[in-house]
Amino acid sequence: MWNDVVDKKHAEQIAELLNKQNKLVVHYDARKVLQSAKNYLYELAESGDVAACLELKRVQWYQFEVDHLTVHSDYLRRGHGQRLVDQAEQKAMTENGRLLQCTIRQDNAASEGLFTKCAFSRVAQFYYPLSGNNVGVWQKVISPAR
């Protein structure tokens, strides 16, 4: 089940997932998630708990960024990530987006595989000193030129 309205219970679960599954330099809590609740897309497991989430942010008039796609370890390889990326693309298109972008840590083969499968291309790479990682910049044009 896909959702884009975050309540406190699910905000807590999203924050826990982000902190546990990702190697982030910023700590998340429910308050931080709720401050940008309109940006979150998530899927629930049959139990009603968050199985997967991502944040979709407009960063330019034409560009949206997919941040921190995260799937709970109990729900890996069940299509949650791909469905959320597809939903993010649809939402960005509905809001007149032209380009989707994400960043992926160099050693994150699962994310690179998923975004490649979703037709994203790595267009650049940089070193991020706060995390000590090389980070790839991945993009997908969602409104091709005519």
Q: Is residue 97 part of a domain?
A: yes
Q: Is residue 146 part of a domain?
A: no
d(CA 64, CA 58): 4
Q: Is residue 48 part of a domain?
A: yes
Q: For residue 71, give the CATH number of its domain.
A: 3.40.630.30
* Below-50 pLDDT ranges, the chain: 1-2
Write out the residue range of the structural domain in which residue 10 sits: 2-141
Q: What is the pLDDT of residue 1?
A: 46
For residue 61, the 8-state DSSP code is S
Q: What is the pLDDT of residue 3?
A: 55
Q: Is residue 102 part of a domain?
A: yes
Q: Is residue 50 part of a domain?
A: yes
What is the number of domains present in the chain? 1
Angle at 105 between CA 32 and CA 57, to 5 degrees: 40
